[in-house]
Structure formats: C-alpha cells, structure tokens
Copies of this chain bind each other. A is one copy, B any other.
C-alpha cells in the first residue's frame, strides 16, 4: 500500500467546465488539495462538487499573479495546467484530465491511480540497464540474472507516466484511420524508460516530483494565438527526459490506468497538430542530440540551456520556436519568482485565490 501524501501532493486539473467527474474520484482524491486551472472565459463559474479542498485560478488570476510573465502560460489550451505546477507548494503533483474516470483492474476492482503513482514515485528507477521483469522494486519482482549489482540501488524517480484504458492517446491521423479502436489491454507492468530514449509523454494521467523536475514541466505555448496545439505534454516530455537523463533521474511508465471516456474531435485535432506532425520530425532528432554541460547542475540551468539550443537550432524551422524559447526563459523566471524563499513567506501571509 502506498502512503497517503496528504500534505505533500497537489492534484492539478485544467478545465473549462464543471468538475462533475470528481464524484467518481471522491474516495481517492478527497484527502488531497486540488489546484484547478480554469481555461477560457474567466467570467464563467466552474462548479466543484461539495467537500473537496481546492483553489481555483482563472485567466485573470494568472495575469494578476504573474504580470507580464503571464505570457508564458497558454490560453484556450490545456497547456495552461502548468500554471498549477508553478503555484503548488507541495513536493509532488498529480495532473489528470477532466474526461478521465476510474478504471477497473482485470479482477473488476477500482484502480486507485493516485496511490499507484505515489508508489511509483517513492521507489527508484533503473534507467541505466534494462530489467526484463519490469520494475524490480515491485512486490514479487527483482533484478534478473546479469543485472549489475552496482546499479541495483537505482536512481530517484522524477516522473510517473500512467496509461489509459478505452480511448488511447492517438494523434489525429490515427484517430481518423482507426475511429473504433479502443485500448482494452491491461498490461500489469511499470517500467523505467531507459536513459537516452525519448518517449511521448501524455499529460492526461501524470505525476511528478516538483522538487526534482518541476521547473522542466513547462507545457509550452499552445492554443490561442499559437500555430500549434496538442504538443504541450509532448514538449514537456522531451525536455523532461533529456534533463532527467542528464541529472540522473528516472522516468517510469505503465501502471496506473485511468478510463479515458471520450475521444476528442479528430478534425479539430488535425488542425491543431498539423504543423507539429512536420515539426516533430526535426524536434525529436534535436532533442536526441541535445547536450547539457557539467555546469548545468540544476533543472533551471538545464532548462535555460535547452531554451538557448531551441532558439538556435529549431528557430531556423519556424519563428514560433524563437518565441517558444523566450517563453521557456520567462517560465523559469516566473517559477523562481513564485518559488523563491521570499515568495513562500509572502505567500504564507498573502492573499488566497478563490477556493476553500
């Protein structure tokens, strides 16, 4: 059983609607504090079911808190959720989409996704050598013959990437080609993504250690006024993985599953993804080749270095990447502004956002 990390974990939810989906999560989420990031029209009221402890930020709040630096937070795109990562004061963050429900394991039991994420984050990762029996720290598993003993202590886990039953996280072309495909395969495994290997990180069901990797969890410039959408979590995942590899941190994927209830519109998605489909062909080799020097010994320094490389190398593809590189710097400035020692003290005495 994973411990309840009540005072150490926030749940971040981006939304444009009433959070009725929380009802099914009540047994699992109610002990935790929620940070709700309201996207779109700030005058709309987002209803939160009774009994949840939450704070809610709309666009006006984001603009007020960050001032000119609010430009780094996307609007009309779920990428806005990363504002929640920034204002959290907890060690861990779990973020989930509001169309994700409680999945069942093969025995028919409700899956406590959050408890599994906590378990994943609290036990080490093994990025330096592949273990064929998956996570060696799980009950009933271990390192197999031939696994170097010097590597069995593992490294701290920074990210736990959970998966989805029912509607898989497909891109628009795949959605169009396979409109009826559903994910019914329950794979009973958690594994570390090896060092040097990039992966497509989905923000639907994702937990991470803010203290270890928070400043790299920037979801980029997406949506309103931007040429691209639906690459927010991918962008974060590429940056995060390169930095985790450099700093000796682990990224896990696999369990837990959530139940993803409905596919987004593939035509709308195609419009959002269109440029990304071309750009990712250059972005991925770029991240595969990105180098961080020994001087980059904090997440912030790594991230600033990546932003410079983005500007220099990807800026040639499209002026968007120059803007994104600048936003990456602004994000770090904003992060540090809200997460410095002084800001924490001010926060302790300062004005509270909406919520209860």
Q: Which positions in A face B, CB cutoff 8 Å?
A: 106, 129-134, 138, 140-150, 161, 163, 168-171, 173-174, 178, 181-189, 193-202, 230-231, 233-234, 237, 253, 273, 277, 280-281, 284
Q: Contact between B194 and A197 (Cβ–Cβ < 8 Å)?
A: yes
Q: Contact between A163 and B237 (Cβ–Cβ < 8 Å)?
A: no
The verdict on A130 contacting B178 (CB below 8 Å), with A140-B183, A146-B234, A187-B188 known, is no
Please give the distance in Å from A117's CB to the nearest CB on chain B.
15
A141: which B residues are within 8 A, CB to CB?
Answer: 168, 183, 185
Please give the distance in Å from A99's CB to the nearest CB on chain B.
15
Q: Contact between B185 and A132 (Cβ–Cβ < 8 Å)?
A: no
Interchain CB contact (< 8 A) of A174 among B132, B142, B171, B200: B142
Interchain CB contact (< 8 A) of A148 among B161, B186, B253, B281: B281
Q: Contact between B130 and A193 (Cβ–Cβ < 8 Å)?
A: yes
The verdict on A174 contacting B143 (CB below 8 Å), with A148-B280, A186-B188, A188-B188 known, is yes
Q: Contact between B170 and A144 (Cβ–Cβ < 8 Å)?
A: yes
Nearest B residue to A141 by beta-carbon distance? B185
The verdict on A144 contacting B132 (CB below 8 Å), with A188-B188, A281-B149 known, is no
Interchain CB contact (< 8 A) of A145 among B138, B171, B196, B197: B171
Q: Which of A146, A168, A169 is the most central at the interface, judged by chain B CB atoms within 10 Å of its CB?
A: A146
Nearest B residue to A234 by beta-carbon distance? B146
Q: Report whether over half of chain A's contact residues are helix, strand or loop; otherwise say mixed.
A: loop
A189: which B residues are within 8 A, CB to CB?
Answer: 185, 187, 189
**Identical subunits present:** 2
Q: Contact between B184 and A185 (Cβ–Cβ < 8 Å)?
A: no
Interchain CB contact (< 8 A) of A178 among B142, B149, B187, B253: B142
A138: which B residues are within 8 A, CB to CB?
Answer: 185
How many angstroms between the C-alpha atoms of A329 and B38 in the bound complex? 66
A253: which B residues are within 8 A, CB to CB?
Answer: 130, 132
Please give the distance in Å from A200's CB to the nearest CB on chain B.
3
Q: Contact between B187 and A146 (Cβ–Cβ < 8 Å)?
A: no
A202: which B residues are within 8 A, CB to CB?
Answer: 132, 144-146
Q: Which of A132, A133, A273 is the most central at the interface, judged by chain B CB atoms within 10 Å of its CB?
A: A132
Counting from the closest, the 5 A-B pairs by CB-CB distance are: A146-B200, A194-B197, A130-B199, A146-B234, A145-B171
Interchain CB contact (< 8 A) of A198 among B130, B181, B185: B130
A198: which B residues are within 8 A, CB to CB?
Answer: 129-130
Please give the distance in Å from A139's CB to the nearest CB on chain B.
9
Nearest B residue to A145 by beta-carbon distance? B171
Q: Contact between B230 and A199 (Cβ–Cβ < 8 Å)?
A: no
**Other 10 A-B pairs with CB < 8 A, given A130-B199, A132-B169:** A130-B193, A131-B200, A140-B185, A142-B170, A144-B202, A145-B202, A145-B273, A147-B200, A148-B284, A149-B277
How many angstroms between the C-alpha atoms of A273 and B146 in the bound complex? 9
Q: Contact between B140 and A181 (Cβ–Cβ < 8 Å)?
A: yes
